[in-house]
Chains A and B, each alone.
Chain A
Amino acid sequence: MTIEGLRDTLSARALPDPDNASRHYWQSAAEGKLVLQRCAACDAYQFYPRAFCVTCGGETEWVEASGRGTLHTYTIIRQNRSEAFVRLSPYVVGIVALDEGVRMMSNIVECELEQLEVGMALEVLLLEAADDVGLPFWRPARAG
C-alpha cells in the first residue's frame, strides 16, 4: 500500500478523542512530530500519555521521540467484519518497541507480508488524520 493509499484509509478509521493527557500527543503527530512523556524526576519514558508518571508518581514532560523502534510482535488481520476495515484486509497490526523503551500498537505498512519478522527495525510515518490528530504508522527502517 502506498502512502497515498494509506491516506485514503484514514477516513474509514475511528479516530482518538483527545483528552487532557493525550491532546498534545495527537496534536504533535498532526504536525509531523512524534512525542513521548518522560518523567522530570525519574527519567522514565511512558506510553500511553497520562496525567502523571506511572513509575514514580511525579510530573512528566514532553520530549521528541527518535521515531525508531523494532517489531515486538504482530498479527495479520484476515477478518474484520467492521465495514471500515473490510476493504483493508489483510493488514498488519503490530506492537512496536520504540528505542526509548516504550511500546505502542500500530499498523506496519510499506512491508510485504513475507518480509515481516519479529525484531525487524522500523521507522515511524506520521499522517495527519484531522486538524487535531495525527496517526503514527511504522514501516521498515531505511538504511542510514
Chain B
Amino acid sequence: MGARDAVIVGIGWSDYPVAPELDAMDHHVLAMQRALADCGLEKSSIDGYATAGTGFQVDDAATMAEYLRINHRWIDGTSVGGSSFEFHVQHAAAAIEAGLCDVLLVTYGSDLLSRMGRRLGTSTFSNGGTRVRGPAQYESPWGNVLAGSYAMAARRHMHEFGTTSEQLAEIAVGVREFARLNPQAQYREPITVDDVLNSRLIADPLHKLDCCVISDGGGAFIMTTSERARDLAKPPVYVLGAAGAQTHWSISQMPDFTTTAAAQCGPEAFRRAGVRPEDVDTIQVYDSFTITVLMLLEDMGFCKKGEGGRFVATGVLRRGGRQPMNTDGGGLSACHPGMRGIFLINEAVRQLRGEGGVAQVPGCEVAVACGSGGFLSCISTVVLGKEGRS
C-alpha cells in the first residue's frame, strides 16, 4: 500500500428511473453535487475529469468540463459505450498514482426515457431514403436492431453449448429479486422463469424480460489518493485492479460470437488485483440483456466457457447466495439510461462500504464491476476492495 493508491471516496446518483423534469445536464450536475456531499470535498479541489459523450446530445468531455466549470489538469473523454466508466476507473487510477491529478470527478447523465422514449433497443436509426456512412453501411440496410445483435450472440451460444432460454431467464429472475429491495427500481413486481419465457419475443431468442429497461438517470463518483482520503467523510474503496479490452465494435465484426474481451481483461484485472474470481463477494455486471451477463461471467472466469447456463441456475448469484449479483436490481429491472457502467461502480462502492441496506451482502470485502460497451465490444473489468492491495 502506498500514499497515492487510487481510491473512490464519493458516489452520487441523480434521480432515476423516471425524471421528466431533469435534462441530461441536470443529471450530470445533480449526481456531481451528491457525490461531493457524500465525501465532503469542495468542488474547487477537482483537478481531473472524465465523462463519456453519448452522442444523443452535446455532452462530450470538453463541453461538460466547461459546463461544470472544472479547471482540470487531466481529462479523459473515452466513450466506448456502457463500459466507458469502467475504462475511466482504469485510466483515472493510473493518473492518480502517477500524480497527474489529485481529485478526479467522473459524471454521467441521460434523459433517454423522457426525451426519446423506449426506442433504443428496437429501432433502426436510419430510414429509407437516407445514406449511411462508416461500418453501419454494412448493417443498417438489413434492419438489425440493438436487441438483435445480442440475440445473435445468444443463438450462437445456444448452438455451441446447449444454453437454454430457461437458463437465461434465471438471470432476469435473480436480478428482479434485488430490484424488489430497491424502492427506486423501475420494475419491482416479482417474476418467474415462466414470466420471462411468456413475455413476447423481441428478437429471437430474446424475450422482452431478457432485455434491460430504458430509464432516465445519472451518476458520479470521485476518486483521490489514499492519503487524501484519510480525513474524508466515508471510508475509501480501493481500486485493486482494472483492465479493458476490445475485440470489435459492430456486431458483424465480432470474432467469436460466444466470447467477449472479458476473456482478456477479466483475468488481467484479477491478476493486477491479486485476487481470484472465487474471492469476489459481490458481482456487478453489465446486464443490458441476459446473454450479456452469461458471457461476461464465463469470460471473467466465474465458470468455464459454455457452463454459464448451469452456473446461473445454481443460485450462487441470488440474494443469500455466495456471490450476489447486481444488488441494486441491475439494468434488467432497476435503471438503464443508455450507458449503465457508472452504476456498477457506485453499487460496488455502496456494498463495500456496508451501505447496502436490506440488499447488503454480508462481509463484503471484494467486489467486481464489469462493463460491456457497444455490442459485446469494449469490455472493462474493475476489482474494488475495502482494503488496499497487501
Q: Is the CB of A91 within 8 A of B143?
A: yes
Residue of B nearest to A47 (CB): B138
Q: Any chain B CB within 8 A of the CB of A52?
A: no
A77 in contact with B252 given A14-B127, A118-B155 (CB within 8 Å) = no
A75 in contact with B119 given A93-B144, A93-B148, A95-B252 (CB within 8 Å) = no
Name the B residues within 8 Å of A88 (CB-CB): 143
Q: Is the CB of A14 within 8 A of B132?
A: yes
Q: For the complex, what is the distance from the CA of A95 to the CA of B139, rounded to whole Å?
A: 10
Question: How far does the Cβ of A98 sit from chain B's closest Cβ, in whole Å?
Answer: 12
Q: For the complex, what is the distance from the CA of A12 to the CA of B126, rounded to whole Å?
A: 10
Q: For the complex, what is the distance from the CA of A28 to the CA of B211, rounded to whole Å?
A: 39
Q: Any chain B CB within 8 A of the CB of A79?
A: yes
Q: Any chain A CB within 8 A of the CB of B272?
A: no
Name the B residues within 8 Å of A95 (CB-CB): 152, 252, 257
Q: Any chain A CB within 8 A of the CB of B124?
A: yes
Q: For the complex, what is the distance from the CA of A93 to the CA of B222, rounded to whole Å?
A: 43
Q: Is the CB of B133 within 8 A of A93?
A: no
Q: Is the CB of B141 within 8 A of A135?
A: yes
Q: Is the CB of B155 within 8 A of A12?
A: no
Q: Mark B98-133, 1 if CB is under 8 A from A, else 0.
A: 000000000000000000000100111111111111
Q: For the complex, what is the distance from the CA of A7 to the CA of B77, rounded to whole Å?
A: 43
Name the A residues within 8 Å of B130 (CB-CB): 14-15
A80 in contact with B123 given A73-B152, A93-B144, A105-B138 (CB within 8 Å) = yes
A73 in contact with B126 given A14-B140, A107-B142 (CB within 8 Å) = no
Q: For the complex, what is the distance from the CA of A129 to the CA of B132, rounded to whole Å?
A: 14
Q: For the complex, what is the distance from the CA of A129 to the CA of B129, rounded to whole Å?
A: 11
Which of B132, B143, B202, B204 has most chain A Cβ within 10 Å?
Answer: B143
A15 in contact with B131 given A73-B257, A95-B257 (CB within 8 Å) = yes
Q: Any chain A CB within 8 A of the CB of B304?
A: no
Interface residues of B in 117-175 (CB under 8 A from A): 119, 122-133, 135, 137-145, 147-148, 151-153, 155-156, 159
Q: Is the CB of A73 within 8 A of B159?
A: yes
Q: Any chain A CB within 8 A of the CB of B263?
A: no
Q: Is the CB of B138 within 8 A of A14?
A: no
Q: Any chain B CB within 8 A of the CB of A19?
A: yes
A73 in contact with B155 given A78-B204, A79-B202 (CB within 8 Å) = yes
Q: Is the CB of B124 within 8 A of A15?
A: no
Q: Is the CB of A118 within 8 A of B143?
A: no
Q: Is the CB of A85 within 8 A of B124?
A: yes
Q: For the complex, what is the distance from the CA of A77 to the CA of B204, rounded to whole Å?
A: 7
Q: Residues of B at under 8 Å CB distance from A?
A: 119, 122-133, 135, 137-145, 147-148, 151-153, 155-156, 159, 200-206, 251-253, 257
Q: Residues of A at under 8 Å CB distance from B?
A: 11-19, 22, 47-48, 72-85, 88, 91, 93-95, 103-107, 118-119, 129, 135
A–B pairs, 16, beta carbons within 8 Å: A11-B129, A14-B129, A14-B132, A15-B132, A22-B137, A76-B201, A80-B123, A80-B145, A82-B124, A82-B126, A82-B143, A84-B128, A85-B124, A91-B143, A93-B144, A118-B156
Q: Which 6 A-B pairs have the closest CB atoms?
A: A14-B126, A16-B137, A17-B131, A75-B151, A73-B156, A105-B252
